[in-house]
Amino acid sequence: MLRILGSVRQLCQGLSRRDMLRVGGLGLGGLSLPQILSLQEASASAPVERERSFGKAKALILIHLYGSPSQLEWVDCKPDAPAEVRGELKTIPSTLKGCDVCELFPNMAKVMDRTTVLRSLTHPYPIHGVAFALTGVPAIDVAMELSPHDSKHWPYFGSVVEYIDSRRRQGEPVVPSNIALPFPFSTKRVGEVHRAGPYAAFLGSQYDPLWADFQGIATKGITKTLRDMTYTGNDPYIGIAPDSYFVVPNASSLQPEMTLDRLSIRKSLLGQLNDNIAGLAATSPGRSLTKHQQSALSLLESPKLAQALDLRREAPETRALYGESLFGQSCLAARRLVEAGSRVVSVFWDEYGLAGMAWDTHWNHYPRMKQELAPGFDTGWYGLITDLDRRGMLDDVLVVCTSEHGRTPKVTSGMGGGRDHWSRAYSSLIAGAGIKRGHVVGATDKQAGDVTDRPISPKDLLATMYHLLGIDPHTLIRDRQGRPLPLVDGQVVEEALS
């Protein structure tokens, strides 16, 4: 079973020569010795801003826009570029000076002064590398992306946080610390193959996110095309009924017939079972089983999780602030969950109906932006930032909105026009605890196709997230083979820190 090395020795605290040689010998599975020395040098010269911001965030809301929005029709618009690059949409000014945004985001424009824009993310993998964007895995390919349990995968960010936090605290949290919305990832599209990303990998399945599930009715329809396939039907990302909410399926399915007497009997039987399977409890499957049993009982005994997910308890005006879309209401649920005590809440804008959907706009780029994508994001993001700020939570909660890559600078001519995959330059939004308000980091060329200032790896973004949650990103952990690996090979984006 994976464990943190000894006393959780971290690179910023210094490594022994033996440790560096062991890690340096990992080859493709870890860091080279020059990389280790580089990390050590960077840590030794860390500025005051990094020390001041370490652990500033009590919780994190991680938003992942699967398929990836176009940087050109979001927060890196190029209105002076040729028509085939700038596209058909205009820009509007935002509250962040020097950062005009796409005209489809008038509400987002109002809260840009509370946001830092990372305009210079870049990496060499223009595929749907959700796992590459959200884990420390050093490389990705299509086969891995379509194989969630490939042994080469590294654990999801939220799973790592839960794993490390569990070794620091005493007892179990009242509300699960690693929760994801709006439904289990990659389960609402055609095809039996699920995508990789939000899994605990070699940490063990007991550290997978706890998935909530959407309960509601989609109210608005759309026709979407994927090559020779067509989906026509209502899509919750466009509109949902106002009484929608979320549940944890495994827990809620036990509630109707579960009385206190029956719960007590089950707890007694569970205790007897655990007392007599000490051998099983010492194994990885046994630990996983025990953790899930304990979690299920705690969910049944505590109403906090169910109450946080039941959006019907929220004031109608607050629900309206986030918009009547699956994304907006997922953001509201995320706010309620961190308010209840969750540490990492992940909101995935996922494929729905067909594969290759969500923000993967190879076809009908502008109709889908106008009808399906921009309205829900514009209202949901505005609602989340505004609501957190009004409640005084934005100083304690880190909010990150990212994706796996960007879109091509030039608009394609096929099937209504589109933008294909592009990982050489794209943007992300971060706000909240430890982050500067109203700031831009990095720049791209005149076509938003290449980074011209301050390249940022997805691993740098992950390192920044760990740092703000009070976890050194270079903490060493062991994989299944016992090899010591850093959580992520990235550096904190210090320009974004407040």
Predicted confidence (pLDDT) per residue in 377-397, tens digit = 999 999 999 999 999 999 999
Predicted confidence (pLDDT) per residue in 127-145, tens digit = 999 999 999 999 999 999 9
- Distance CA(209)–CA(337), nearest Å, equals 14
- Distance CA(155)–CA(137), nearest Å, equals 8
Q: Do the Cβ atoms of 73 and 91 come closer than 8 Å?
A: no
Confidence label for 376 from pLDDT (cuts 50, 70 and 90):
very high
- pLDDT at residue 301 greater than cutoff 60: no
Predicted confidence (pLDDT) per residue in 152-183, tens digit = 999 999 999 999 999 888 777 888 999 999 99
At 73, list the tokens.
Answer: 């029709």
Winning range, highest mean pLDDT, from 19-33, 46-60, 163-177, 455-469: 455-469
pLDDT score, position 354: 84
pLDDT score, position 302: 63
User: Taking Cα atoms as reference points, which of 488, 468, 402 lies closest to residue 118?
Assistant: 402
Q: Which residues contact 184 (CB under 8 A, 6 or more apart)?
A: 211, 213
Cis peptide before 182 (omega within 30 of 0): yes
pLDDT score, position 166: 92
Number of CB atoms found within 10 A of residue 480's CB: 13
Strands (DSSP E) contained in 45-157 are 59-65, 91-92, 101-102, 115-121
Task: Kindly list the domain boundaries of the chain, sorted by start residue.
Answer: 51-243+321-496
At 422, list the tokens.
Answer: 């592009």
Q: Average of pLDDT values for 108-125? A: 98
Q: Do the Cβ atoms of 354 and 83 come closer than 8 Å?
A: no
Predicted confidence (pLDDT) per residue in 192-244, tens digit = 678 999 999 999 999 999 999 999 999 998 888 777 778 888 999 999 999 99
pLDDT score, position 298: 58
- pLDDT at residue 265 greater than cutoff 80: no
Q: Average of pLDDT values for 11-21? A: 38
pLDDT score, position 300: 46
Q: Average of pLDDT values for 11-27? A: 38
Mean pLDDT of the chain: 85
- pLDDT at residue 337 greater than cutoff 70: yes
Q: What share of the chain is helix, strand, coil (3-state, %, to 5)?
A: 35, 20, 45
Q: Average of pLDDT values for 451-457? A: 98
- Residues constituting the chain: 498
pLDDT score, position 15: 41
- Distance CA(102)–CA(93), nearest Å, equals 9
- Distance CA(121)–CA(451), nearest Å, equals 8
Q: Which CATH superfamily is domain 51-243+321-496 in?
A: Alkaline Phosphatase, subunit A (3.40.720.10)
Confidence label for 293 from pLDDT (cuts 50, 70 and 90):
low
Confidence label for 191 from pLDDT (cuts 50, 70 and 90):
confident
pLDDT score, position 250: 60
